[in-house]
Structure formats: structure tokens, C-alpha cells
Structure 1
């Protein structure tokens, strides 16, 4: 009597994941050009710290906010784990991470680069008019604009725009197209935060207008009216980073109209009213105006 063919035995566990040769090859190629790299797991984020490094018990890695060396051989501490050493990339401790990795990350600041991360079409449109052209890399939802030069990393410098450079990581998405330009002042200016509020006695609007009584260069009142109206509209239409937008708008108005004495209490009140309609308090408005005047030396 013929017996049915024997079925293959089902394993009790799934086979161990295999290190992706493509990711490792990409990582090794980048280190050859001096790019510090690290594996990124699902969610495109770095791997968590090992037990010894949990809560920075090890003291952190060099150049981190938490001082002290870290001799952990695993890819701990996010961006600070990025390396240019091929031997580290293929070590047993890193191999375990590469088996679970979904992409390669890199530390832009460690390579002397800055990535302007444009997250949507509106951000790209803004960049094309506000920033000099440079190397561009398409992303899932937008683009990375890469400049030669490192700076401080800051998120949400304006709607849909992050800056990734020192103490940050970015996802490697290819070489991109275009010639890489030097880091421009326009990008550096995005990271400049408003100075802390000056702790002075409250001022009236008239007090905020003292000084700057030079000869007025504006030939008609219409020029000033147009500038104040544009500033009101800029504040009214902002959807995020309201405090920063108010300060920058005040700075722009004062840089053009603050030295000739043509601004009146009525003009300032219009700007303050627009800012308060977006949730700014009267005190924040006064502080932002005072800080803008201080920044301009008025």
C-alpha cells in the first residue's frame, strides 16, 4: 500500500533575519567619502540605547549635551553613534541592528553639511523664492536641500521646514541633483531665535516709538500704509510659529520704517491688534517690539 508523501517539518520559529547587503554597501560607500552613518529602524528612527546606555547611564558620547565618553560598541545615542569606521559597521554589535534596519541615516553636521528639510509643496515653493539653489534630493513628501557648511539644527523654523545639521540625523535618499552651494545667510537666519524678553517696566505705545527721528525717506504716506498692511496680513495669515512670525514681522517693519519717525501709535496698535488676534498677549507684543528695536539698535 502506497503511503502519502511526507510533509516537510514546520519550524517552531521564523528564520533569523538576514543582513541587507544593499544597506551595508550603501553605508560603506558613504563612509568612504567621509559621511558618518548609522542604521535606522522601522519608523526611520535610530535604535534605542542598550541596557548599559539607558538613560545615558554611561555618560553619553563625546560632543553630546551629556558629557563624558561612551565605549559601548553598539549603535547607541542616535546621531552620536554615526561613524565613518568600516570596521564598526560590520562589527557583531552593529550587524544585529543592520538586520532590522530599513534604511541608512547620516549625521549631516559631522560631514560639514546642512539639510533644509522641506516637508510639503508649500515649503518647496517658499524655498525656491527665498533660498539659493543647491543640491536637491526628493523625499517621500517633499525635498531635502543640501548646503555645504554646518550649523545648529532647529525644527519648525517655519511651516514645513526643519534644519538638520549638527546633533541631528537625516535619512540617506541618494546623491540628488544639482551643484551643492555654500550655506547661505538666509538659512542661518532661520535658526536665530528672538532674544529673551527685556524685563523692564511696561511701556505705552508712545514709549515704544521714542528715538529714530531721522529724515523720512518715504515720499508718500501710501508707502508706509502699504508696508503696515502687508505686515498685518503676514501676521493674520500665519498658521504656526505665531510668536516667531510676530517678532520677525515687527523686525521687518522697524528695519524699514523705524529710523525716520513716520510710525505712529495708530500703526503700532494695528500690528499689536493683529498679533493679539492670533493669541499673543499684550506683554508678548510689547516684548517682541522692544526686542526688535534692540536688535536694530533703535
Structure 2
């Protein structure tokens, strides 16, 4: 795989990088593409869109393209517009990009992401054959048809379609077949948690610990500062998110005052920086475990 430091040497006479050319090829086939940075995550929002101050698309609750001219808002930045992909405002991202991603739902596709050998074995025994693409640890199974994305529908299995992105790894092998009911049913079984996964109980049992907030403003200020810390991270986003979750829980997690709405704000800030729902859940769970919550 091309390393970020090698990308400048791949630029041709027209100034396009190899990843940029891949994105243009995908766009020509009707597949919305976007750049990924190191860590297989999208680029963070520009200053105008930091913390979703611009309102998102809208607030990232519905599928559709981002209206910002920069590659912002994760999956919503994916586009089939060659002028956008080739634009000067995207150039810096392409020069730093480590990979190309696409929005499966925007192309009318669903990706069943099989993350390990056990998941691949399950799919071969359970799902209809379709086009498959090898990944680092497993396979992507591509079906014709879109649906709501869902994470961790079973061990090692995610579904990526609308409002999600998947890394582009080539066309793979086999013939793509229609999206089966068996995949739709997997997502239906996951429906829908009332709170972010992993945030089921942010307080100790009964929430009887001492309240350190003193006033609601103290808690609100703490959550706002945590959102800002995540939003302003320029590197080491994974560790920043974990450290921020740990700090919030250590201060506000034992008395029962931390609500689902507060947790959702933190998860939203992390996902705006490119963290996946699964990464957010893992970071939250690990922070709770470390603190004994």
C-alpha cells in the first residue's frame, strides 16, 4: 500500500495523486468517493464546520452530500463530482491521503464488512454468494441495494450502506447479487438503542456517588470543554477521544448526573473527527472499565 510520504512522488504532470485518480475513476462509475487519512478515517472538519457549527447535512441525520467545499463531515463528503475531487481546496487532503473511501449507500450498494476469519466462515454458510473483496483481516461482501448502516450486528460483522463509508480496496471477485433479506434482518435485530452503545450506565449502581458538579453550569462547561478538546485534535485522535472520555467519566460519571444527551454529544464530536461508532463505543467502555464504573 502506498505510504503517505510516497504520494507526492506519484503525482503526474497534471498534479493529480494516485488516490485522486482512483477517486475520479470511482466517480465516473457513479460511486461517491472521499479521501482517508492515516488510520483509515476521514479528514477532520474545516474550521467553518468544526463541532458541526455549520449545522451538518442537516445535523448528519439524513443521507446526502455535504455542502461544504472542503472534504468535511466524514461519509457526507463523498462525491461523484469530478470538479470537486480535482478542486484546489481538496488538493491538500489528497496529498496527505493514505487511502480512498466511498459511500456505499450513495452508489446503491451495501457492504457486509466481515472483520475476521470466523465472520467470513459465518457469511459463507449463511449469506447468498456475491462480489467479495479481501481486506486486511477478512472480506467485504458487496450487494446491490441500500439500507441503513448498522455496527456489530453479530461478532465481527458490520453493515455499511447509507450514512457510512467503506475503504476502496478494488473490485474483488464474483458477481454482485441483490441485497438479501438475511442482511436486512441482521440490522433489524440491532434496532435501535436509545443511547450510544457502551453508554448504558455511566454512573456506579444507583448513582450514589458524591456530586462534584455543584451547579448544572459546571457539568455543562465540562461537556463543552470535552467537545472542544476532541474537535480541536489535529493528531492522535484515537487517544484524544479516549483520554477525553476518561476525563469526563472520572469527573462526572459516579453521581448519575451524566445523561444520554451528554454522552451523545461526546460521541457526535468524536464521529465528526472521523471516529467510527465502534471506536467510540470501545473508547467509552475502556474508560469505564479503567475507572471501575
Sort the TM-score into its range (normalised by shorter chain).
0.5 to 0.7
- Quick one: structure 1 residues 187 and 57, their matched pair in 2 at CA, closer, same or farther if it must change by over 3 Å? same
* Residue 177 in structure 1 maps to residue 173 in structure 2: yes
- Tell me by how many angstroms 1:171 deviates: 0.1
Within 5 Å, which residues of 2 pair with 1:13-162?
17=8, 21-62=17-58, 64-65=60-61, 71-162=67-158
Give the whole-Å Cα distance in 1 for the aligned partners of 2:150 and 2:54.
Answer: 26
Maintained 8 Å contact 2:153/2:189: no
Maintained 8 Å contact 2:110/2:142: yes
Give the whole-Å Cα distance in 2 for the aligned partners of 1:148 and 1:174.
Answer: 16
- Tell me by how many angstroms 1:65 deviates: 1.4
Which deviations, in whole Å up to 9, do the C-alpha atoms of 1:244-295 show, x marking residues without a partner? xxxxxxxxxxxxxxxxxxxxxxxxxxxxxxxxxxxxxxxxxxxxxxxxxxxx
Unaligned runs of 5+ in 2: 194-293
- Tell me by how many angstroms 1:69 deviates: 9.2
Give the whole-Å Cα distance in 1 for the aligned partners of 2:19 and 2:65.
Answer: 28
- Quick one: structure 1 residues 67 and 32, their matched pair in 2 at CA, closer, same or farther if it must change by over 3 Å? closer
- Quick one: structure 1 residues 53 and 67, their matched pair in 2 at CA, closer, same or farther if it must change by over 3 Å? farther
**SS in structure 2 at match of 1:137:** strand
Give the whole-Å Cα distance in 2 for the aligned partners of 1:159 and 1:46.
Answer: 25
Q: Greater RCO between the two (CA within 8 Å, min separation 6)?
A: 2
Which deviations, in whole Å up to 9, do the C-alpha atoms of 1:108-140 show, x marking residues without a partner? 000000000001110000000110000000000
- Quick one: structure 1 residues 70 and 185, their matched pair in 2 at CA, closer, same or farther if it must change by over 3 Å? closer
Maintained 8 Å contact 2:27/2:80: yes
- Highest Rg: 1 or 2? 1
Give the whole-Å Cα distance in 2 for the aligned partners of 1:110 and 1:133.
Answer: 22
Which deviations, in whole Å up to 9, do the C-alpha atoms of 1:175-234 show, x marking residues without a partner? 01000010000000000136799xxxxxxxxxxxxxxxxxxxxxxxxxxxxxxxxxxxxx
Give the whole-Å Cα distance in 1 for the aligned partners of 2:95 and 2:30.
Answer: 23
Give the whole-Å Cα distance in 2 for the aligned partners of 1:67 and 1:174.
Answer: 24
Q: TM-score, normalised by structure 1?
A: 0.57
Give the whole-Å Cα distance in 2 for the aligned partners of 1:65 and 1:169.
Answer: 15
- Tell me by how many angstroms 1:37 deviates: 0.3
Give the number of aligned pairs.
Answer: 183
Give the whole-Å Cα distance in 2 for the aligned partners of 1:191 and 1:98.
Answer: 33
- Quick one: structure 1 residues 50 and 192, their matched pair in 2 at CA, closer, same or farther if it must change by over 3 Å? same
